[in-house]
């Protein structure tokens, strides 16, 4: 379900400017997730805030951080207020968690079916996360499985979230 006005527990998807954003956009396309400008994911928190994974560590900042960009807000249909509270409570525990560029290697090797024994275990053991991984993990911790294929959250991309939760995917 797509929303114009965000609610706690919604997933915000936006673009990343510059070459990094274009690189992620191309990478998502190569991953089979389609070609669209949703390269970054964050989770809407209560009180007008959001939590997002960033290279300096996951941070909670005002939702107004993205007022100057196009943002689409998605969530599974029918989330209850209690589920929304649980999602945001679970997400809050990830504040400060370091960012992981190694997850991009895990996504690429998974998509290309390149044998990489131990890569997934290594990435999971570091405790680092990328933006879409943090969102998927918060939902999972709250008991809500976003993907029916039981994919590891380290393989989730922002476009994967959009494809799963947009009305066309329903």
Sketch the domain layout of the chain as residue ranges: 2-169
- Label residue 65 by pLDDT band (50, 70, 90): very high
Range among 33-37, 70-74, 148-152 rated most confident: 70-74
Per-residue pLDDT band for 89 (boundaries 50, 70, 90) equals very high
What mean pLDDT comes out for the span 132-156? Answer: 85
The fold adopted by the segment(s) 2-169 is endopeptidase fold (from Nostoc punctiforme) (3.90.1720)
Residue 35: exposure state from Cβ atoms within 10 A (0-12, 13-18, ≥19)? exposed
Query: What mean pLDDT comes out for the span 143-151?
Result: 85
Strand ranges, E, within the chain:
2-3, 11-14, 40-45, 49-52, 59-62, 71-74
Q: Is 113 left (phi over 0), alpha (psi -120 to 50) or beta?
A: left
pLDDT at 33: 61
pLDDT at 88: 98
This prediction's pTM: 0.81
């Amino acid at each position: 379900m797509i929303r114009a006005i965000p609610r706690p527990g919604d997933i915000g998807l936006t673009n990343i400017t510059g070459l990094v954003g274009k690189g992620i956009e191309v990478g998502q396309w190569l991953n089979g997730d389609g070609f669209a400008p949703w390269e970054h994911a964050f989770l809407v928190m209560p009180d007008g805030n959001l939590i997002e994974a960033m290279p300096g560590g996951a941070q909670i900042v005002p939702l107004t951080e993205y007022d100057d960009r196009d943002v689409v807000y998605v969530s599974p249909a029918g989330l209850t207020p209690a589920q929304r509270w649980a999602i945001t409570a679970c997400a809050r525990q990830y504040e400060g968690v370091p960012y992981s560029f190694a997850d991009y290697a895990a996504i690429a090797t998974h998509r290309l079916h390149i044998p990489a024994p131990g890569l997934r275990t290594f990435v999971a053991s570091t405790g680092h996360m990328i933006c879409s991984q943090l969102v998927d993990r918060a939902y999972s911790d709250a008991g809500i499985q976003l993907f029916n294929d039981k994919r590891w959250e380290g393989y989730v991309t922002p476009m994967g979230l959009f494809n799963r939760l947009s009305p066309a995917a329903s």
